[in-house]
A = this chain, B = another copy of it.
Amino acid sequence: MTATILDGRALAKTMRAELNAAVEEFKTKHGIVPTIAVVRVGEDPASVRYSGTIQKTAAKRGMESALHTLPETATQEAIVALVAKLNADEGVHGIMVQEPLPKGIDEAAVKAALSPDKDVDGVHPVNAGRLAQVAPVGRPPMVEPFFVPATPAGGLEILKRYGVELKGKHAVVVGRSNIVGKPMAMLLLRENATVTICHSRTADLPAVCRTADILCAAVGRAKMIKGDWIKPGAVVIDFGVNFVDGKMCGDVDLETAQEVAGMITPVPGGTGPMTNVMLMWNVIEAARRKAGA
């Protein structure tokens, strides 16, 4: 069997067109330009690249973005003060604080300083809590509106747009980070999947992976998950972004995995291109909520 490739690049393209239309409609209706503020402390190269991508993406969608940078030596107080200023700024709909923050900075306190209504990256505990508490799909949510981190939101979007049935399926999420693994698990649970969360302490990880109808990898270890860890026909979502000899690869060994899986996201070209698009959707959503639309 050769797996169907879940083409995140093509899907992101489709969604960018939808995003353009949504931005245009919002601007026409409200006379307001959806705006994201990005906060970067220091000059971490990956962060510099990512903030550049966000600004480019926003511009192409007709959205506004503002990059606020602080030096590597910025104090906790200075970072929190900048976040507070952006919270209060009526013209800013979404705020994203880039990680990593410099050593010695209390990341939890910075995240908690964000207005939950502008936390388009879904890192504030109140947004994580609403995701944890939300009722399953098909029932009233029972929580206030919230934001989900863009990367797992993109993974779920791929599953949905490709029509993958989640209800009653066994989803295994490998990795328990706050930005991918845990929120992905909560999203799949909300979709009525039975969800198993694995991590570095899991006993016999290959055996657990082999029980998955939907296997999500978010561990940050190049090609760790081999073809023989996968149940034939399973759907594999690879969130890994690793580099081996300068070449990007995922947490899944694509070569062997695609011979076994039913569907699989490649790296590059799978979940990666979706992240940016989902972040922008969150910004429009934040602008809509503020406008009461």
Contacts and interface: CB of A to CB of B under 8 A. Distances in A.
Given A202-B194, A203-B168, A186 B132 contact: yes
Interface string A115-140: 00000000011111111110010000
A198 B194 contact: yes
Interface residues of A, number: 40
B199 A197 contact: no
Given A189-B176, A198-B194, A143 B168 contact: no
A293 interface: no
A108 interface: yes
A109 B142 CA distance: 9
A138 to B, nearest CB: 10
Nearest to A146: B125
A49 interface: no
Contacts of A169: 203
Contact of A107 (B108, B109, B142): B142
Copies of this chain, whole number: 2
A167 interface: yes
Nearest to A170: B203
Contacts of A107: 142
A192 B199 contact: yes
A180 B133 CA distance: 11
A112 interface: yes
A40 to B, nearest CB: 20
Interface string A56-97: 000000000000000000000000000000000000000000
A193 to B, nearest CB: 8
A208 interface: yes
A24 B238 CA distance: 54
A195 interface: yes
A125 B133 CA distance: 7
Q: Max chain B CB contacts within 10 Å: which of A129, A168, A178?
A: A129
Interface in A134-181: 136, 142-144, 167-170, 176, 178
B132 A182 contact: yes
A178 B128 contact: no
A133 B181 CA distance: 11
A136 B202 CA distance: 13
A103 interface: no
Contacts of A144: 108-109, 112, 125
Interface of A: 107-109, 112, 124-133, 136, 142-144, 167-170, 176, 178, 182, 185-186, 189, 192-199, 201-203, 208
9 contacts: A125-B129, A129-B130, A129-B132, A132-B178, A132-B182, A170-B208, A193-B201, A194-B202, A194-B208
